[in-house]
């Protein structure tokens, strides 16, 4: 008797104790028990109901045609047809010839927004309102990522469910994750897809050299980690419920097309949120301010806090990549590092912060006394305000920024080097094995040798008050935080020279020009930086 084929979704749900009716080609997958997303338990705090401040009149949700037309002013659409700009594969080849990492970042970001100018974008849209760029050019993102590459990654790499890949569905208002345990093999993954499930690759930069290159360049523009997810969705389906994120999102449509609806934040409390939202029902989100179809080559940007949902049309699948940045990169996040340090310094240096509290303060302060009319309360609060005003005088702002910088460099992807940079750095050094011995193991750096950092983000000096360390990104992993932060404790004789080298970028400087007291100190610093892959020379070793 011929064995009836069961889809991966059917098998998984039967093993999970559930049953599933047969899925038609145009039917969404059946429901199952909710699973953890991304292998992490959802943040329970985000599900708590709280009082929400209403939006300002200009940001309120529209409920009539007149209000809808007004809300359209809160987003923008740009037509890029007729504006010339190279496809991505051509652009990356050109960028490899640019000898300044900051300039590479500026050019790549400008290409991403083309034909919108980046200054206009940051002035009008960044953290403010969505923007749609329609290009009528399906080849615009050529070479970035594709379904063929998705398949190759599944076949050739250890892709794990919940770590690298999520299988999702959104049916009848319910969002579900269908991740089995273990490795995601093509046979099972594509069966899920044929059953109507969406596929989300969580860290494509770990597997795709092009995505890695793009993100490693963009992170310098943002001054914040740049991440990405790839989404592949079958026709007639939707993989995710309406929600908002805690990142600035750039949606790049790679293949097919997708219908997107974007909604204003529901209240001022949800503008630029610190955490992503739970899933919303359709009746919780109001009317969309943007209702569009993205086609290959188009871009949609929306700030964190803007609710969004995307679904596939009946006639095409969709593949898009979401490039994200600016997670927990606010003034408040800096102050979280600054205020404890400021208070510690104030308590050491100012007796007013060390004086004892009033003996009876528990009798008139605290929640149970908050409704009391007591002059002692006013005096107590006024004293707190005075101390808070004094606290700014003890704030170690540069030290707090250094803490943020250390976190950022730990988050960073390692740099992608051009052929010229490789050939003139430790990665192109001629050391090799030949004739039974190690050959050319020593690179002769000399006083006249011209050196510079491999990029503006290659290294940064940071101080914890007692020591000065050089943090760097060259040994970071393409897998987020797989490695511990990389740093070198600097010798006092090298600090000024290192600062000089950082500030000289992108210019080359001679080893002899480094401001160290002795030539020996200059050479030892240059050799250390070369061995760590942080500098390269003006000439490649093959050219010499």
- Give 186's contacts (C-beta < 8 A, 6+ positions apart): 151, 154, 155
Candidates 278, 215, 220, 219; CA nearest to 245 is 278
Residue 11 pLDDT class (50, 70, 90 cuts): low
Q: Residue 8 domain-assigned?
A: no
pLDDT at position 438, please? 85
Q: What percent of the chain has pLDDT over 70?
A: 85
In a domain, 61, yes or no: no
Residue 528, domain member (yes or no): yes
Q: Give the lowest-confidence range in 14-18, 135-139, 160-164, 208-212.
A: 14-18
Query: What is the pLDDT, as a whole number, of residue 465?
Result: 81
Q: What is the pLDDT of residue 434?
A: 85
If asked whether residues 343 and 263 sit together in one domain, one would say: no
Are 528 and 458 found together in one domain? yes
User: Domain for residue 278, yes or no?
Assistant: yes
The mean predicted confidence, pLDDT, of the chain is: 89
Per-residue model confidence (pLDDT) at position 479: 96
**Do residue 455 and residue 529 come from a single domain?**
yes
**pTM of full prediction above 0.85:** yes
Average pLDDT for residues 290-297, to the nearest whole number? Answer: 98
Q: 287 with 350, same domain?
A: no
Predicted confidence (pLDDT) at residue 71 exceeds the cutoff of 50: no
Task: Please tell me the predicted confidence (pLDDT) of residue 83.
Answer: 67
Q: Assess whether 351 and 449 both reside in one domain.
A: no
Give which of 330, 223, 224 is closest to 274, Cα–Cα: 330
In a domain, 283, yes or no: yes
Look at residue 23 and tell me if it is in a domain.
no
| Sign of torsion over alpha carbons 448, 454, 455, 459 | negative
Q: Are residues 417 and 336 in the same domain?
A: no
Q: Where are the beta strands (DSSP E) in 36-126?
A: 76-79
Range with lowest mean pLDDT among 33-42, 262-271, 367-376, 421-430: 33-42
pLDDT at 314: 96
In this prediction, residue 430 carries a pLDDT of 85
pLDDT digits (tens, 9 = 90+) for 464-504: 888 999 999 999 999 999 999 999 999 999 999 999 999 99
pLDDT tens by residue, 176-186: 999 999 999 99
**Mean pLDDT of the region 438-443:** 78
| Average pLDDT of span 311-325 | 97
Residue 396, pLDDT above cutoff 80: yes
Burial class (CB in 10 A: 0-12, 13-18, 19+), 41: exposed
251: confidence class by pLDDT, cuts 50, 70, 90: very high
16 domain-assigned: no
Residues 341 and 481 both lie in one domain = no
Does the pLDDT value for residue 15 go beyond 80?
A: no
Task: Extract the tokens encoding 514.
Answer: 């480094």
Assess whether 385 and 477 both reside in one domain.
no
Q: Name 6's Cβ contacts closer than 8 Å, sequence gap at least 6.
A: 14
Residue 218 has pLDDT above 90, yes or no: yes
Mean pLDDT in residue range 75-104: 86
Domain of 486: which CATH number? 3.90.930.40
Q: Does one domain contain both 294 and 257?
A: yes
pLDDT at 4 over 60: no
pLDDT band for position 437 (50/70/90)? confident
In a shared domain, residues 151 and 215: yes
Please count the structural domains in the chain.
3
| Residue 297 lies inside a defined structural domain of this protein | yes
Same domain, 128 and 277: yes
User: For residue 90, what is the enclosing H or E element?
Assistant: helix 88-95
| Residues 388, 244 share a domain | no
Contact status, residue 318 vs residue 255, Cβ threshold 8 Å:
yes
Least trusted range by pLDDT, from 30-34, 267-271, 291-295, 404-408:
30-34
Please, which residues have CB within 8 angstroms of residue 34's CB and are 6 or more apart in sequence?
Answer: 176, 177
Q: What percent of the chain has pLDDT over 90?
A: 79
Task: Please state the φ and ψ torsions of residue 235, each to the nearest 5 degrees.
Answer: -60, 150
Mean pLDDT value of segment 375-386: 98
Which pLDDT score, from 0 to 100, does residue 77 have? Answer: 81
pLDDT over 50 at 428, yes or no: yes
Q: Which domain holds residue 88?
A: 71-325
């Amino acid at each position: 008797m011929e064995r009836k084929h069961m889809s991966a979704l059917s098998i998984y749900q039967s093993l999970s104790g559930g049953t599933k009716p047969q899925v038609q080609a145009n039917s969404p997958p059946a429901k199952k028990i909710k699973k953890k997303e991304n292998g992490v338990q959802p943040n329970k705090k985000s599900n708590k109901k709280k009082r929400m401040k209403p939006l300002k009149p200009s940001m309120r949700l529209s409920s009539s045609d007149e209000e809808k037309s007004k809300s359209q002013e809160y987003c923008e659409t740009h037509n890029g047809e007729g504006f010339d700009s190279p496809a991505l594969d051509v652009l990356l080849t050109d960028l490899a010839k640019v000898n300044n990492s900051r300039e590479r970042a500026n050019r790549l970001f400008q290409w991403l927004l083309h034909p919108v100018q980046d200054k206009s974008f940051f002035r009008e849209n960044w953290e403010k309102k969505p923007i749609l760029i329609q290009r009528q050019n399906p080849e615009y993102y050529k070479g970035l990522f594709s379904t063929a590459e998705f398949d190759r990654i599944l076949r050739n790499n250890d892709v794990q469910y919940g770590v690298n890949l999520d299988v999702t569905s959104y049916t009848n208002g319910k969002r579900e994750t269908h991740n089995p345990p273990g490795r995601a093999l093509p046979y099972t993954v594509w069966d899920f897809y044929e059953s109507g499930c969406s596929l989300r690759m969580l860290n494509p930069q770990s597997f795709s050299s092009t995505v890695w290159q793009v993100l490693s360049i963009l992170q310098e523009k943002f001054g914040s980690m740049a991440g990405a997810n790839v989404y592949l969705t079958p026709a007639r389906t939707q993989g995710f419920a309406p929600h908002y994120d805690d990142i600035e999102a750039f949606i790049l449509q790679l293949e097919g097309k997708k219908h997107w609806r974007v909604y204003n934040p529901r209240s001022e409390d949800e503008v630029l949120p610190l955490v992503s939202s739970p899933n919303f029902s359709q009746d919780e989100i109001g009317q969309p301010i943007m209702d569009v179809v993205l086609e290959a080559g188009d871009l949609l940007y929306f700030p964190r806090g803007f609710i969004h949902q995307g679904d596939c049309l009946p006639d095409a699948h969709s593949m898009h990549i979401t490039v994200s940045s600016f997670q927990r990169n606010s003034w408040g996040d800096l102050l979280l590092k600054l205020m404890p340090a400021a208070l510690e310094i104030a308590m050491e240096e100012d007796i007013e912060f060390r004086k004892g509290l009033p003996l009876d303060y528990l009798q008139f302060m605290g929640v149970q006394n908050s409704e009391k009319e007591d002059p002692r309360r006013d005096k107590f609060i006024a004293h707190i305000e005075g101390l808070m005003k004094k606290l700014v005088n003890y704030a170690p702002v540069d030290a707090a920024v250094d803490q943020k910088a250390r976190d950022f460099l730990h988050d960073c992807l390692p740099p992608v080097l051009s052929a010229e940079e490789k050939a003139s750095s430790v990665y192109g050094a001629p050391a090799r094995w030949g004739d039974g011995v190690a050959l050319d193991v020593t690179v002769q750096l000399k006083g006249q040798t011209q050196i510079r950092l491999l990029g503006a983000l290659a290294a940064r000096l940071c101080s914890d008050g007692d020591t000065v360390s050089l943090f760097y990104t060259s040994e970071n992993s393409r897998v987020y935080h797989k490695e511990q932060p990389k740093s070198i404790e600097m010798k006092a004789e090298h600090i000024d020279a290192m600062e000089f080298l950082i500030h000289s970028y992108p210019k080359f400087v001679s080893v002899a020009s480094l401001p160290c007291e002795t030539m020996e100190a200059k050479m030892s610093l240059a050799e250390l930086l070369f061995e760590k892959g942080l500098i390269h020379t003006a000439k490649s070793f093959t050219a010499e």
